Structure formats: C-alpha cells, structure tokens
Structure 1
Amino acid sequence: MNIRLDNLTVNFDDRFQLEEINWQLDDSQHWVVTGANGSGKSALAAVLASAGENLSGSIDGIPAKVGLVSFEAQAELIEAELKKDDADIMDVIAEGTPVHEILNPGDSNQQLIDELVEKFQLQTLVDRAFRKLSTGESRKVMLIRALASEPDLLVLDEPFDGLDAHTLEMLQAYLATLVETVPMVMVLNRFDEFPDFITHIAYVDNGRLHHRIDRSDTKAYNELYQLLHLKTTDLAVPAADPETAIPTLDPTQPLVKLSSLNITYDGHRIIDSLDWTIERNQHWQLSGPNGSGKTGLLSIITGDHPQCYVNDIFVFGFKRGSGESIWQIKQFIGYVSTALQWEYKVGTGLRNVIISGFYDSIGLYTKATDRQKQIADEWLALLGMSDRADTPFNKLSYGDQRLLLIARAMVKHPPLLILDEPCLGLDDMNRQLVLALIEKICAGSETSVLYVNHHPEDKIKGIENYLALEKREPENS
C-alpha cells in the first residue's frame, strides 16, 4: 500500500473543505491524525475512505478494502435504521436490522466476528435490533464490523471514546496484534491515548495539513504536544496579582487616540495624517511592508518617539505633553519584540522570567510573593512547561523563549499588549505555537492585543480590526 495525496482539495457538502493536502502513507506506517475540534482531522481521515468531493489535486493508492469507524459513519448507519420506521405499511412495524446482520454484511470472516463478539462481550446482543443499542454498544458493533472485514487499511476516528476501561484495554491490545499486517490511521485528541505502535503524526488546522512528524523525532513530537495543548486545553489566562495591580483606567476613554498623526524623517513623511483609535477590549492587527512606519507608530504609543510632543496623542488617559512621565505610560503596556528577546540573555529560571514581568525587569531582583509564584506556575501550565519551571531561560529553544516573553508581558494584565513581529525568526511549528497563545489571550482576558506583522492575510482568530500601512515614496523635489 502506498497512498499519495497531492495538492488535494476536498469539499464536504459545502460545510467544510480540506485544502491543498499533501500526504504520503505506506504500509509500514501507522498514523495518528490530530488537531483541535473543527480543524478537519476527521475529514482528512474520511478522505481515506473515499468521502467528500474532490475539487482539485489527486489521491492515489486507496486500497480496495478500508475499515472505517467514526461517529459520522455510526450516525449514518443509525439514521438508515431509523428510516425503516417509515416502512410500517399495512400496520407492519419494522423491527430494524439485527446486530448479527450489521456485523456481517456478507463478505466478512464469520469466525473472526464470533471471536470479536466474545472479546467485546456482545454475545447477548447479536439478535437485538441495532437501533436499540446504546451509543457505546453501537460503537462496539462498528469496531467489530471494521476489524472483521479484514481491511487493507484501518481508519479509526476516536476509537477509544465511550469505551469502558476493560474494553479499552482489550482493544488496544488487539490492535497491537495487527501492527505487522494492517496499516492504521487513527484520529485522536489526547496524546496520552496514542498507542505505542504509532509511527507518525499528522497535525491538521483550519482544513490544512500543517505537520507530518516522525514520532521518533523527539523535538518535533514535544513541540506538537505543546501546540495541541495550547489549542485544546481548558486552562484560562491566569488572573492578575491584586497586590501589584495597574492603576484603573477611565472605562469611558479609549486606550489610544491618534489624531492627524504625522511622522517625518529627513523631510520625508512616513505617516501622513493618520487617525486611529484603540478602544478597550479591541484587538488589532497592524501590518505593512518595511519602511511603512510600523515601528515609528509603535514608538509613538509607547512614548519612545521624539515626535510624540508635536502630535495630537492621547494614551491611557494622558494627553501627551501634559507632564506625564514615560514610565506612567509604559506601566499600561506589555511589549514583546525580537529586540527584547536579544536583550533577555539571562540564566533565570522560567518561573522567575514570568515573575519579572511584574517588575518590567530583565531578570528578577526582587523576592517574589507566594501569589506571584502561583500565577507564574499557572502560566507555565498553560504553556505546557510546568516540568521546566527551573530550567534556565537561555537553555530554551528560540520559539519557547518567545512564548515565555509573551507570558511575561501578560502577567500584569496590561490594558494593551503589543506584539511586534512575534513570529519573526520562528519556524512554522513555533510560529503556530505563538499564534495559538495569542488566540488564547484574545479569547480570555481584558487586555487589548496589538499584533504587528508584515502580512495582513495572516489572521488570528479573535482579532477583527485591521490597520494596513503603505510605504510612502519620497516626493520629488
């Protein structure tokens, strides 16, 4: 068996679409397809059983006999049985198809069916109507039916859901006996359910296959675990520390209001008459090419730009130039940039890196309170780094350092979190980790996020406001 999907786009009744899938599977591999709810992982598995309408690209090598177990296939079979209720002509009530007929549609190994029925402890149910089974019982029937068909490929979508502990253990052991003869593709949400014999992992998000990982690649496997943790965990953004709370802002006033903003360098106007307001709890994406003024605009907001005082600028309740200090402005801002990461070259442990955010310091030079330690540990749990609380920051990967610095910037729950090109220098996996954390922050806090990048199309769920700057060419003299 050698299945190949080349640039495949598949439509599922206009409800969902897989896009530009490239994937290759052979008979020596056993795959898990994983991703967040709604990502398309079940759709991708169903494609291997010839589901969906191919719009473009190609799929080759699908074997003649595919054993499929999924909630969708289970629901379709139950729906077909329920329709038999419409066959009550002449007062004949349809009893529905008995389980033993569902188990063997005519081409399965009856001896194997009998063995599996005993293993799944369904002996007393084989003569009952399939539609009268419980959800868990009908799930077992679907599993027996697929296994007994002696398939060339086994596609199992969440096969362990709804099974009692005994059945779960038995099924895992039975699947392990098929490893040498039947390639398997499983859809699973939980990493702790991955069977030991799984060789490869596919990660799906928003209808696209983003990662294909060899399980023996420990680094890639750990990064994928962390990404799935961020995408699916129920953990919320940790609360702020009431002892180091930022002063309360006037809720009726915007966070930032720029009126007819002009920024000029050497007689060349970079930004011309820009009006922009950032309201509380708004999330913005700021994009534009190099030289369009993104950095200058940020430094206007943070108070670091020399032209702050020749413009009409209102930030965090202050009219710039009214006697406020730069630190009065900065206390309301969390900031993450590549430059900050270059500066944060310390051996401080991860817990203390997060705690340093309470003090806006590089490194920690103040004794942390118990509450601050607790909050830092909650952030580490959210990031999937609880086991690395005392690991030196400078020993982390580049991507993990970026995650930690975002947590450090957020720990005081600033009204505005500025993320200046947070994905710069990151590979695709680490980029998705950072974007997943930003999504979590947008969904779970009162902090407004200002996400700065080059590409307006690189959207983040939860960010619905966009400002795209254009590069202004110097005027001819």
Structure 2
Amino acid sequence: MSQPVVHINNLNLQYQQMLVLSDLNWTILSGENWLLGGNSGNGKTSLGKVIAGLLPASGNIKITFNDTSKLPAKVLFVESWYQFKNLEGVANFYYQQRYTSQQAKETLTVKAELAYYAKEYHLNIADVEPILNRLDFTSLQNSQLIELSSGEHKKLQLVKALWLKPQVLIIDQPYTGLDLKSRKNLNLLLDETASAGVTLILISNDDDLPSSINRFATIVNKKLVAVNTKTDLQQFIPLRENKTIPAFLRTSPVYSSQQIAKMENIQISYGEKQVLKNINWEVKAGEKWLLQGHNGSGKSTLLSLINGDHPQSYANTLYLFGNKRGSGESIWDIKQHIGLISPEFHWYFDASATVWESIASGLYDSVGLFRQLPYSKSILVDELVEYFGLTEEKNRLLNTLPLGTQRLVLLARTIIKNPELLILDEPCQGLDKQQTKHFNQLVDELCSNGMTLIYVGHFESQLPNCLEKKIVLENGEVILIEDLKTDKAYKQLKDYALNFEPSL
C-alpha cells in the first residue's frame, strides 16, 4: 500500500486580510504526480508555497520523507519566475540595465551560479552537464545572469531543480518562456526525475505534460477538488464576459510617420558575443507582425532597439517613427509612440503601486504614478479598470495580486494611450486560457482600427487573428520574412507554430 508523502488537513491561508484557502484537505501518495490547474488566481501558487514552507498557514501539513532514499529530504518550490540578485545581494535592477556595458560587473555568470549551487547542496558539477545539454543551455554558462531573458532564467531554475532531485518538487508554470524543443526535453527530464523517486506537483494549464503526471486537481471556493483527467479541469475556468471596447480605443492612433521602424545591417555585440547580425527589417504604419525564434535567438534584443532601450542603437543605422536614432530625440520621445508589455518589463516593474496607479502610469511611460491626473485622463483609467474586470482590485497593491491579474493590469497600462505601435512580447504569460482568448480578441479589435502590432507569441491557437506578416530569428539572424495573407502562408504559419514554438 502506498504511503502518504504529503498530507494536508484543514489548511487555512489568509493573505493581506483575504482568505485564500479554507479548510483545504489533500493527500499525495507515493507514486502520485499531480497537475494543479484551473483558473488564474484560484490559490494554486499559494498552496504550492505553503507545502514548501514559504508561506505560513494554519492547519496540519505533514511531509513524510523516505529515509531510505538517496534523494535530498527536501521540498523545492520553483517560482514562475526568479528574481536574481547582484554581487552585493541586491535585486533592484532596472529594465534597461540588462543592455548596458557595465552589466558584466553586476552579477554572477551562469557557471559561477551553478558552482555556488553545487557547493550549497553538495552536488557533483559533472552531473549538471547532461541537463544543460538537453535544455540547450550549455552555451550560456559564461553569460551574466542579468543578460538572460526571462525564458533563459526559467531554464536555469529548472536545471538546478532537476540537478538537485529533491524528494518533492513543485514547479509553478514550468513551460513559461520555453520553446517547443525545450518543452519536450523538459517533459522527458521530468519523467526521468519521477522515475528516480521524486514526487512532482506541476502548477500549469498547459496541454502537453510529462507522461508521469497521473493525478489532477484544481482549487474551487478555496478548497481542493480532484478530477479524473486534465480535460476535466477546463470546466472550472469561468467564461469571461464579452464587453464593448472603450470608445477611446475604437479610433485609429494618430501617426507621426508612415515608417514605424527601419533597420539597416544592425549589429549588436557584447564583447565577442554577437547577439544580432546584419538585421534588415522595416515596419510600416498599420502592419501586424509576428516575431518568432528559439530561446536566445535575439528577439528581446531586437525589440529593445525599437523601444529605445538599447544603448547600441546609436552605433547602428536605425530609424524610429521617421527619425534616425541619435538625431536629438530622447528615449521618452520614442516611448510616447509605443505601448509595451514583456515578461522582462513585468519583472522590473514597480509592483508597489496600486492597480489604478499602475494603469495610469502608462500615460506617462513611468513605472508608477507621480502626478495628479486630470479628470479627462482619470476617466480613461476607470474605463479600462471596468473593461478588464479589475474594479474590485483597483485600490490594491499590484504585488498583492495573483500573477495573471498583475499581467492584466499591465496589459491595460500598455494600451491606455492608444499607441501608434503595440509591442506585445509574450503578453499572455500567466493568464489562463479564457484570459488569453479574451486578450487576443481585444488585440484583434484594437488592430482593426489601424494600430501597428509586433507580437511575440506561443502556439498558433493562442495568437490573434490579425497577424499579417512574420519575421523569424535564429542565432541573431533573420532566417525568414513571410507574408501571411494567403491561405498557403497561413498554413505554413500553423505548421511552423506547431513544430517551432517560439518564446523568449
């Protein structure tokens, strides 16, 4: 008879005076590997953190480790994303700092981070090499932590967890930011980890899972509900109400130029590492582009040039909104034309502002609200708060909300000024399927009014319908520019998205 590994009885969790979990019961037996799914914000992440001892809660939680196992008697929780620190132990980086020439002095290299981890947990450094290879991470060992994209940081945390092999491993959003090849290899690695005796708990709504996942649950009304299959979890994700888009977003943006961005033989390097090579690309007003590429292909760096954040843009031939970069415009002049959301921007955003203030800050391209809004602009914020269903949360601090709700807030911030260019870099990370569908419908409606779009996405089924053109990067080079207007091109898009899933 299987023995309980995790036994929870009458668990109660209160956070910021809000009851998150109530009299929750859950028993995980040896040999069981669970998927914890359901709608965004139902308490999944909080439950995982409680089991790992990262959040205090009342009730009975008993973890029974196997004394005969060689695996560490430990519960490890892998965050949906990881906040790294610099050499002085400080984590307060700013968004543009990732691209500055001084970054090498700020953080450890990947290799040094792994060496530190090996020393902390008494691991053999040679044992990590196969994991690095299978997740295509070997070439990044000399990179600084601050140079990594959010997807690459996710890989690093997965590498460390799979290397350690704790007796209980909880992973929040394991596939966030990973390309298709990495996802497949991760599932194989997770199966091998489970076979070695690790109990897995994955917090996810993804469809492609390790074959070792054999139990499924969600949280409904603050209690755990077990179901028979992952398909059964969908019934617990509520349909979102279709609302009319605010009137101020139903008009076309006012374009300052018919040329949004033009790049001529762009070259970006960090020392001997070349990140972008001979990039030639033009985006015209009203075009809708899909940007794809494997992890580390250069997508984030390419977008940082358009958004004005990369200092090496001055050393290249780059035109933004009709003006050559370096002709006297400031970074804030450029940002006035752009609405941006990306995992990295979310990562560095000041989460101590309220929901209302966070949305309003998009009017001024700041990371908080530092001025009194006139009544006419306050009305715009109120309209977006209502449209995104955030009325009850509008006075709450951003950092007290579930990750998916935080992302909706930043999406509202992105569109509030009806920008000429909308840059949506993995905009639906952290959202459940209904939220993703709802947001992409909003993107389609916005873009029907003439807005220019650059969209970095996941599966073909999770992309907006308005996309017209596609550019694909590989190892810093453009390997494909394609028009998606014909049926043949769209079929190619579907095949490509299924066989070459893009990410950060």
- TM-score grouping bracket, smaller chain normalisation: 0.3 to 0.5
Instruction: Give the TM-score normalised by structure 1.
Output: 0.47
